[in-house]
Amino acid sequence: MNYNQFTMQATVWLYPGMAGWHFITLPADVSEEIKDRFGDKKRGWGSLPVEVTVGTTTWKTSIFPDTKAQAYLLPIKADVRKKEGIAANTAVTLLLEIRV
C-alpha cells in the first residue's frame, strides 16, 4: 500500500450560497490520519495538494480543513462531475493521493 494513498466512499454535496461549488467531506478517520501524517506539510488555508481519481478521471487539486466538520473538504471540479455523471447527493468511490 502506498503511504500517501487513501481509498474511500463519500457523498458529494452542494455548498449553499455558492452556485456550483460541489464538495466531498472526507471521512473523519481518513481526515485524522491525513492530519497526523501530513499536517506539518500544509500550505495556505491549511490546504494539502492531492491527486484524485474518480472513475476514469484523475485530476490535481487540494483538500482544505473544515473546522466545523473537523474533516478535510475536497472540491469536485465541474468537468469531473460532467465526465463522471456526478451530481449533489451522489455517492462516489475515490482514490486520493497526498502530493507532498
How far is C-alpha 42 from the geometric centre of its chain's CA atoms? 15
* Sequence-distant (≥ 6) Cβ neighbours of residue 35 within 8 angstroms: 65, 72
89: left (phi over 0), alpha (psi -120 to 50) or beta: left
pLDDT given at position 39: 93
| Cα distances (angstroms) measured from residue 37 to each of 3, 42, 60 | 9, 11, 20
3-state DSSP assignment of residue 85: coil
The pTM score is 0.92
Confidence of residue 37 (pLDDT cuts 50, 70, 90): very high
Confidence of residue 18 (pLDDT cuts 50, 70, 90): low
pLDDT given at position 16: 86
Q: What is the pLDDT of residues 40-77, one digit of tens each?
A: 999 999 999 999 999 999 999 999 999 999 999 999 99
Confidence of residue 24 (pLDDT cuts 50, 70, 90): very high
Q: How far apart are CA 42 and CA 1, in angstroms?
A: 23
DSSP 54: E
More confident residue, 90 or 19: 90
* Domains contained in the chain, CATH given: 5-98 (2.40.30.100)
